[in-house]
């Protein structure tokens, strides 16, 4: 089990690095999208290649971050029943779901999408849009993303089996500190409070300046 846990740790590290790198693609997509909008409506210029780059990168964010989200245990759950079970019961549900649903589905998509990529590679498939891009890079993203998801699913399976056998901690335990939703709510609260504080400080300054300018 120790060897399997080490293997799981290597997969977790890979998913972490790929996920954090893919997050930066969101910024790139936003910049490209803004550039496309400005060039189209201000300069009356458009580029199918730049539009397709935007779509490609947007797809890459979802495909390459899927394993990262699974590692963080942030995917959507239906906790109507599972939330009432014990920690062992919740882990058994995950073991069943990973083996019966996640791994077969991901393996099937990887298998079928690989042949699509190979056809695009061998034929040199191009976009049907004028000035569009070659298709094989975006075709490759699908099997690559699902291979990462398969690896992370195996890692999650190892961690849950380790917990059930008493060889590891509970992988479903929430990390210490605020959740992503709580951090977002706190940031929004600060953003809303900051202008109010600035207005109060400004009013106080005006009052002080007004008093200083009064004749004695």
Segment 123-151, tens digit of pLDDT? 888 888 887 788 888 899 999 999 999 99
Supply the DSSP symbol for 10.
Answer: H
Note the pTM of the prediction, 2 decimals: 0.75
Please write down the long-range contacts of 173-176, taking CB distance under 8 Å and 24 or more positions apart. Answer: 173/87
**Residue 1 pLDDT grade (very low, low, confident, very high; cuts 50, 70, 90):** confident
Q: How far is CA 4 from CA 10, 156, 162, 170, in A?
A: 10, 11, 9, 16
pLDDT tens for 24-72 read 888 898 898 888 888 878 877 777 888 888 888 988 998 999 999 999 8
Instruction: State the angle between helix axes of 87-97 and 136-164 in degrees (0 to 180), rounded to the nearest 10.
Output: 140
- Per-residue pLDDT band for 100 (boundaries 50, 70, 90) equals very high
């Amino acid at each position: 089990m120790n060897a399997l846990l080490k293997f799981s740790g290597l997969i977790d590290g890979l998913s972490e690095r790929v996920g954090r790198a893919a997050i930066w693609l969101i910024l790139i997509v936003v910049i490209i999208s803004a550039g496309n909008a400005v060039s189209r409506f201000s300069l009356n210029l458009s580029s199918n290649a730049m539009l397709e780059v935007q779509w490609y990168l947007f797809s890459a964010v979802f495909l390459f971050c899927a394993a990262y989200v699974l590692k963080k245990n942030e995917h959507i759950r239906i906790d109507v029943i599972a939330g009432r079970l014990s920690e062992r019961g919740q882990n058994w549900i995950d073991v069943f779901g990973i083996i019966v649903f996640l791994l077969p589905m991901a393996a099937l998509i990887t298998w079928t999408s690989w042949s699509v990529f190979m056809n695009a590679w061998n034929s040199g498939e191009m976009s049907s849009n004028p000035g569009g891009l070659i298709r094989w890079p975006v075709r490759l993203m699908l099997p690559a993303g699902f291979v990462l998801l398969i690896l992370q699913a195996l890692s999650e399976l190892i961690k849950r089996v380790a917990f059930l056998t008493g060889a590891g901690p509970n992988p479903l335990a929430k990390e210490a500190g605020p959740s992503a939703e709580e951090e977002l709510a706190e940031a929004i609260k600060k953003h809303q409070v900051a202008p109010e504080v600035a207005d109060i400080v400004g009013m106080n300054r005006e009052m002080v300046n007004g008093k200083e300018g009064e004749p004695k």
